[in-house]
Amino acid sequence: MTRLRLQSQLLLSTLLIICALAGAILLIIRHTIRTQIADQVKYSTEASIQEFETVQRQMQLQLSRTASLLAEIPTLKALMTTQDAPTIQDGSTPFWRLAGSDLFLLANPGGRVVALDVTQKGLNRETAEGFLRTSLNEGQESAWWYSGGRLYWVFLRPILAGTGNNAKVLGLVAIGYETNSRIAGQLGFVAESKIVLLADNRIIASTFSPEQEAVLQDRILAKQILPGANATEVALGNDSYQAARVTLQADPPLPVQCYVFISLTRSMAFIRQINRTILVVGLTAILLATLLLRFVSGTITHPLNNLVAGVRALAAGDYTYSITPHGSSEVVELSESFSKMRGELMAFQRKQIETERVAAVGRAANSISHDLRHHLAALVANAEFLYEAEKLRLDRDEVYKEIQTASEQMTELLDSLRDLAREQRNISPVNASIDQCVRRAIEAARARPELRDRKINVRATGDMAGVFDPKKMERALLNLALNACEAVPNRQGNISFDIVSTAEAFEIRVSDNGPGIPLAIRNNLFDPFVSAGKPNGTGLGLAIVSKIIADHGGAVSVESTSETGTTFLVKLPRIQLAPNEIPEKVTT
């Protein structure tokens, strides 16, 4: 992140903080809502269980009263006094119909069943007698009997003759009501929930569909749905329920339990809607925050970007790039300091340039005056020799020739300065041979005493004939030769001129094995008065070369330079163009 721009860092950091805060707040809201919903579901479950237990108690009271009323019927008491089982069985039918129950049982005082009537087969006398004795031993007035896949809710009442201490037990009456889906539906309707009644881990009745009931039965047998007294969330297909257990009979021989299932469909749908709403709100908040932060960060970092652009421009050498101070007080102060520093650097640069210009002019003037004094000294000396030629017996023609050569050299030096200062081209193209110009330039360089030991090779390929100003080209090539000779060691110098002729141009490569061009002057090598490592250098040689080659419509450049040598490349058209046809700048 340290390599990112300040605006990106500010934007990302703030967005991370906003996302963290927004996410935490939304999660807290979501948790609070889910907790509230869970509390509401728990309250609804407890209310449903309480309602179920209330209904159960009311039904128990009602059925218990029915059993008590039957036990008080005189005809039933009279029937029990016969103590004849077949007679009692035959006479029990009217009382069974009067009770309207699914099970009707009469037993003698010893607990033996003397009459049994059931609406559905599944419970026989022996089984009923076993349940009856267990209930009597436990002192139960109501019990749950399960046999043959049927569950009965049974109420027991003694049949008494007489009252008070004179009461005599004639027998026992038991009425039972089978618990089926109709009863479960009634309980579920009152409790506003789904009901499942279990006996021996078998579903006896439920308000679920047969498919859901089969799934529940498998999961109950696998002990996957066995909620305790506390409510438990249960997933059933695509629906979810809050399930709680109500124990109807915990004692042996048959524990009977009822499970109450409260649907969570609405609650889960509401939670999903809340989740979607939270997600949309969170994303919208992040998007709006991003746009707002981008605008705010832009207003903060834009002045800094301008300042950075100014620093880069200054580092690239552009001292004219200016910035307008705006933004925060710190940024304004920094921008003003930068502008002040830029002004000081510009003033220092101008002063340095002026100092270097004065120094270069001084060096050039010193070199030019040195050359002029050298030529003037030769001119004065030869003039004195010419004046006393007869007395000293000197050859006047030879002395005159020396005077003429010195004058021509002085004129040539002054013409070079004038040509360098002239903007329009000043050449006289004629048919000439470029290799002859190269050889004459090499001979002129070797004519200097200090350069006689330089080794200069010439290789030419192709047609050497062309149209150019041979004198100007000879001077340009002489300057290149002198520059190469001065760059190499005295006796170990290796200089070469490679001339390649094509149909359109000459390519002349001047190579040496010198130490290379100093880095400080590589970018402005062809400017006037630029020189390095030459005590008497005027800095005009390569500038004159560039001017002459440019006047011919060509170009000169440094093809390569290193510690092992330098190669200059001259590209010269074979045929000269008209002044208006020469491009302003030729790229190499």
Rounded distance, CA 402 to CA 175, Å? 160
**Where in the chain are the domains?**
72-178, 344-421, 425-581
DSSP state of 83: -
Distance between CA atoms of 347 and 324, rounded to whole angstroms?
A: 20
- Confidence (pLDDT) at 587: 38
Answer positive or negative: Cα dihedral of 375, 527, 315, 558. negative
Smallest CA-to-CA distance from 122 within 145, 97, 141 is with: 145
CATH of domain 425-581: 3.30.565.10
Measured CA to CA, the distance from residue 481 to residue 483 in angstroms comes to 5
Which one-letter DSSP state was computed for residue 369?
H
Per-residue H/E/C for 134-193: HHHHHCCCEEEEEECCEEEEEEEEEEEECCHHHCEEEEEEEEEEECCHHHHHHHHHHHCC
For residue 39, what are its two tokens?
A: 């509390």
> Phi/psi at 245 (nearest 5 deg)?
-110, 135
Residue with tokens 């652009």: 309
CA dist 458 and 4 (Å) reads: 58
**Nearby residues of 539 by Cβ (< 8 Å), 6 or more positions away:** 360, 363, 364, 528, 529, 530, 531
Cβ-Cβ contacts under 8 Å for 276 (sequence gap 6 or more):
none
Instruction: Say whether domain 72-178 belongs to CATH 3.30.450.20.
Output: yes
CATH topology agreement for domains 72-178 and 344-421: no
Write down the pLDDT at residue 2: 47
pLDDT at position 586:
40
Q: Are 153 and 177 in contact, with CB atoms under 8 Å apart?
A: yes
Strands 455-461 and 494-501, bridge-based pairing: parallel
Cα–Cα distance for residue pair 446/212, rounded to 1 Å: 115
Find the radius of gyration of the CA atoms of the chain: 61
Residues 6+ apart with CB under 8 A from 245: 226, 227, 228, 229, 257, 258, 259, 260
CATH class of 344-421: mainly alpha
Q: pLDDT by residue for the chain (588 residues), tens digit each?
A: 445 565 566 667 777 777 777 777 777 876 777 677 667 666 666 666 676 567 667 777 887 888 888 888 888 888 888 888 889 888 888 888 888 888 899 998 888 898 999 988 878 888 888 888 888 888 888 888 888 778 888 888 888 887 777 788 888 999 888 876 666 666 666 556 777 777 777 777 777 777 777 777 777 777 666 555 566 777 777 777 777 777 776 665 567 777 777 777 777 777 778 778 877 887 887 788 777 777 766 666 666 677 677 777 767 767 666 666 666 666 667 777 777 777 777 777 778 777 776 776 666 666 666 667 766 777 777 777 666 766 666 677 777 777 777 777 677 667 666 666 665 667 889 999 999 999 998 888 887 777 777 788 999 999 999 999 998 899 889 888 888 888 887 667 788 999 999 988 999 999 998 888 888 787 788 877 666 656 555 567 788 888 889 888 899 999 998 888 899 999 999 887 655 554 444 433
Amino acid making up residue 138: E
CA–CA separation, 383 vs 368, rounded Å?
22
Query: DSSP letter at 503?
Result: S
DSSP 576: P
- Where do we find the tokens 């009501």? 177
DSSP class per residue in 220-251: HHTTS----SS-EEEEETTEEEEEEEEEEE-S
> In sequence order, what are the residues at sequence separation of 6 or more whose Cβ sits closer than 8 angstroms to the Cβ of residue 157?
64, 67, 68, 70, 71, 141, 172, 173, 174
